[in-house]
Amino acid sequence: KAGVTQTPRYLIKTRGQQVTLSCSPISGHRSVSWYQQTPGQGLQFLFEYFSETQRNKGNFPGRFSGRQFSNSRSEMNVSTLELGDSALYLCASSHGTGGEETQYFGPGTRLLVL
Amino acid sequence: GENVEQHPSTLSVQEGDSAVIKCTYSDSASNYFPWYKQELGKRPQLIIDIRSNVGEKKDQRIAVTLNKTAKHFSLHITETQPEDSAVYFCAASKKTSLTTDSWGKLQFGAGTQVVVTP
């Protein structure tokens, strides 16, 4: 089975711009979770999507949003970028039937905001 | 909400020695505890996990123990090798049918940088 894929792998943006990141889960997985990884804050949960619905959300401002398509692919969007949004954005997929399921991570998108 | 603390933040060991990383969690409803290894520039990779109905699990040189009463779990790596050098993260999650605030969410510890010197 192919693993979780993310595109693009690297992005450079300037403050005030917006960005869209994409995640394709493992075939058959219906849940996609997004995480932000920074040296200072570690791995922080952004949100989770299952069957095109956001089921759970972390403590991030409304500038961070996402969606999921019928094929389970997910996108996250960050609007009005700030310098502090520079991070590695990771998505993880699972079957989505329970919180104790194994999550498999993608390679991440490294975002640099200048 | 859940809070996971991980210690130590850095760990240097000689090749062949054992390494132990400890995590504590705050939410007694947490019932799934995975460990991830992240090499520099790579994605986090699951190396072992344990569920709350099990006290210990072993996979070759890696073992995890869980103490539900004390709310802590530990990763043990024996006979360390240079390729074990990486950042290790513990995490906790829970499954509940009553609320959705646990869905798809892993609460991670801050990570442990393990350096294995030959």
pLDDT for B71-88, tens place per residue? Answer: 999 999 999 999 999 999
Distance in Å, alpha carbon of B14 to nearest chain A alpha carbon: 26
List of chain A residues whose C-beta atoms are within 8 Å of the C-beta of residue B105? 33, 45, 48, 56, 58, 99
Identify the band that residue B1 occupies on the pLDDT scale cut at 50, 70 and 90: confident
Pairing status of strand B4-7 against strand B19-25: antiparallel
Tell me the C-alpha distance between B110 and A10, whole Å.
24
Which one of B32, B108, B110 has the shortest CB-CB distance to A100?
B32
Q: Which positions ≥6 away from B29 have C-beta within 8 Å?
A: B94, B96, B102
Express each pLDDT in A32-66 by its tens digit.
999 999 998 999 999 999 999 998 899 999 999 99
pLDDT reading at B99 higher than 90: no
Which one of B106, B109, B111 has the shortest CB-CB distance to A103?
B106
A96 has a chain B CB within 8 A of its CB: yes
In contact, A92 and A103? CB cutoff 8 Å: yes
In contact, A2 and A107? CB cutoff 8 Å: no
Identify the band that residue B105 occupies on the pLDDT scale cut at 50, 70 and 90: confident
List residues of chain B with CB under 8 Å from any CB of chain A. 31-32, 34, 36, 42-46, 49, 51, 89, 91, 93-96, 100-111
Number of H helices, E strands in chain B: 0, 11
Report the SS3 class of residue B82. Answer: helix
A94 has a chain B CB within 8 A of its CB: yes
CA angle A100, B36, A57 (to 5 degrees): 50
Structure tokens belonging to residue A79: 């609007």
Token pair 């240097």 in the structure block, residue:
B12
In contact, B22 and B112? CB cutoff 8 Å: no
pLDDT reading at B98 higher than 60: no
In contact, A19 and A77? CB cutoff 8 Å: yes
List of chain B residues whose C-beta atoms are within 8 Å of the C-beta of residue A103? 34, 46, 104, 106
Q: Say which amino acid occupies B16.
A: G
List of chain A residues whose C-beta atoms are within 8 Å of the C-beta of residue B101? 56
pLDDT reading at A70 higher than 70: yes
Average of per-residue pLDDT values in chain B: 93
Mean pLDDT, to the nearest integer, of B43-70? 94
In contact, B107 and B3? CB cutoff 8 Å: yes
pLDDT reading at B102 higher than 90: no
pLDDT reading at A95 higher than 70: yes
Identify the band that residue B94 occupies on the pLDDT scale cut at 50, 70 and 90: confident
Distance in Å, alpha carbon of B96 to nearest chain A alpha carbon: 7
Q: What percentage of chain A reaches a pLDDT higher than 70?
A: 97
pLDDT number for residue B7: 98
Identify the band that residue B103 occupies on the pLDDT scale cut at 50, 70 and 90: confident
Q: What percentage of chain B reaches a pLDDT higher than 70?
A: 93
